[in-house]
């Protein structure tokens, strides 16, 4: 929701926010110390009428929210395209502040403007999901009935003409 597409001097930029992405069950899970991971799947494509649409870029952004019971603070880790490096994005005192940062995504420099064709229709496809931390394999075997996924959003498509 709230999708904003903009351009900088040389690149296409995207900003959006997830609305109503938290449930009470998720809040209780976080406050019990179990991390929750939000995944955002973004695709930029060129719409074509006579062929399949041409995919120009695919980005996956993961944000993990963790509650530190000892320090009474919320930690948000973020990475892009399933990278191994988790970057500490923020340390926050309240859950409401953490939820706001977790729900907002800003991506700068998604795609070079010079590679876009003028007077063509393009679109961003955005989808999100949230899941809990996976338990170790020996416990997962015993807890096979536990559903780790909290929600999966519908795909949101935002078209634009360049």
How large is the C-alpha radius of gyration of the chain?
Answer: 18
pLDDT per residue over 57-114, tens digit each?
999 999 999 998 889 999 998 888 755 556 767 788 899 999 898 888 888 788 999 9
Nearest Cα neighbor of 65 from 44, 38, 45 is 38
What six digits make up the tokens of 56?
């120009």
Element (H, E) at 55: strand 54-68
How far, rounded to the nearest angstrom, does the alpha carbon of residue 100 sit from its chain's CA centroid? Answer: 13
Regarding pTM above 0.85, the answer is no
- Beta partners for residue 75, in sequence order: 66, 91
Domain residue spans of the chain: 4-161
Dihedral of alpha carbons 86, 153, 104, 161, sign: positive
Where helices occur in 38-103 by DSSP H, the ranges are 95-103
């Amino acid at each position: 929701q709230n999708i904003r597409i903009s351009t900088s001097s040389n690149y296409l930029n995207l900003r959006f926010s997830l609305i109503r992405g938290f449930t009470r069950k998720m809040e209780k899970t976080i406050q019990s110390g179990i991390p929750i991971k939000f995944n955002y799947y973004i695709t930029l494509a060129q719409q074509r009428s006579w062929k399949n649409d041409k995919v120009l870029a695919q980005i996956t952004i993961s944000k993990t929210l963790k509650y530190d019971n000892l320090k009474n603070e919320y930690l948000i880790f973020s990475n892009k395209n399933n990278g191994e490096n988790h970057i500490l994005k923020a340390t926050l005192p309240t859950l409401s502040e953490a939820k706001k940062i977790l729900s907002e995504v800003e991506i700068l420099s998604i795609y070079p403007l010079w590679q876009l064709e003028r007077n063509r229709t393009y679109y961003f496809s955005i989808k999100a999901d949230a899941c809990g931390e996976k338990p170790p394999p020996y416990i997962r075997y015993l807890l096979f009935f536990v559903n780790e996924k909290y929600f999966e959003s519908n795909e949101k498509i935002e078209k634009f003409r360049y």
